[in-house]
Amino acid sequence: MTQPTAVNMTFDTSLVDTQAQTGSFSTTESDPSDAGWAMKTPTLQQGEDSQTTPKQSQEKGESLLPPGQTLMSPPPKPSTPVQHIPTQDAYDEWASVYDMDGNMLQSIDDVELATLLPELISLVLQNSSNRVGLLDLGCGTGRNTSKLLNYAWPQDLQVDVMALDFSKGMLDVAATKLQPLVDQQQNLRLKLEQCNCFPTDSDLNASPLPLANLAQFDALTSTLVLEHISLPAYFTTLSALVTKGGHALVTNMHSEMGKISQAGFINKDGVKVRGTSYAHTPEETVEEAKKAGFAVLSLKERAVEKEDVETRRVGERGNKWIGIKVWYGLLLRKIA
């Protein structure tokens, strides 16, 4: 797995597999700003009864240390400063190393999309004539846009792919990566746009369309984006963008992971940088999707398994997440 050469490395949700001195930090080692999110292990406070029975020498007050030495507490572990900034700013700063930081959740997402994305495309092809319109909403650096472009589409089918993101830094990386894929096939067209992908998240009275006069799409993918958006705003936009009878593929960080960790990275100054994060549950997501006029064709939840680490699907830091659900994905059809 390629490792970053700079100090911009992700924490926990990204689970960078680097050396201990420079690796990602754990939000389970929480700072005060994590109140209500991080799960902490209780510690024995002064005055509380210990469950350990003292040895006889301890009962008598005898020291177990050599003469002349006294027992001192270890110095407290220095905390890393945390900076909460707008999510767009966080991803602009993250963009240069986003594809190289050993992101565990992206790895799990890639494994599951190997089956989910062909399922989505199969549904699209069943309803297609001579053209399909696809949207990657919150495309980032184009990780999954490239999967759409690399698919073996029928040569007589015109495939128009649009990719939207609010981060210029991410889109700059995506443009460099994706344009060569389009140049290789005559039936592919690609358009990248920077915009506010979910306008009603900040303004309830705004149009749910990210761009004015944007036509609806036959299918939409939106992967590992929902964590940063409220459920009503997210599905209001999805409903506006997918044509009736069309389909959407949505993946997200599982709430079991989201209650412990959130997306972010350590910048070049050693500061933990975080945007906005929500710990949406699969059940809440299904309910909101139905309210927005979607039928849920499938729902899958995914925990990290020992095999994922042993086969290096994820790095060794995945060991701490074994048995914990970290991902879920939904395949949806627009019915209303």
On whether the CB atoms of residues 82 and 272 are closer than 8 A, the answer is yes
- What is the predicted pLDDT for the residue at 22? 35
Q: What pLDDT digit, counting tens, does each position of 265-281 carry?
A: 555 666 555 557 899 99
Give 174's DSSP letter. Answer: H
C-alpha 50: how far from its chain's center? 41
Return mean pLDDT, the chain.
Answer: 78
Q: What pLDDT digit, counting tens, does each position of 147-157 carry?
A: 999 999 999 99
Q: What pLDDT digit, counting tens, does each position of 60-93 carry?
A: 444 444 555 544 445 555 555 555 545 555 555 5
C-alpha 163: how far from its chain's center? 17
Name the stretches of the chain with pLDDT < 70: 1-102, 262-275
On whether the CB atoms of residues 132 and 124 are closer than 8 A, the answer is yes
Cα 143 to Cα 134: distance, rounded to the nearest angstrom = 15
- What is the predicted pLDDT for the residue at 44? 33
CA atoms within 13 A on the CB side of 59: 5
* CATH number, domain 99-334, options 3.40.50.10190, 3.90.1150.10, 3.30.450.20, 3.40.50.150: 3.40.50.150
- What is the predicted pLDDT for the residue at 261? 75
Task: Give the number of other Cβ atoms within 10 Å of residue 171's Cβ.
Answer: 24
**Domain locations in the chain?**
99-334
| Three-class secondary structure of residue 252 per DSSP | strand
On whether the CB atoms of residues 219 and 145 are closer than 8 A, the answer is no
- What is the predicted pLDDT for the residue at 270? 62
Q: Which two tokens stand for residue 144?
A: 């999954």
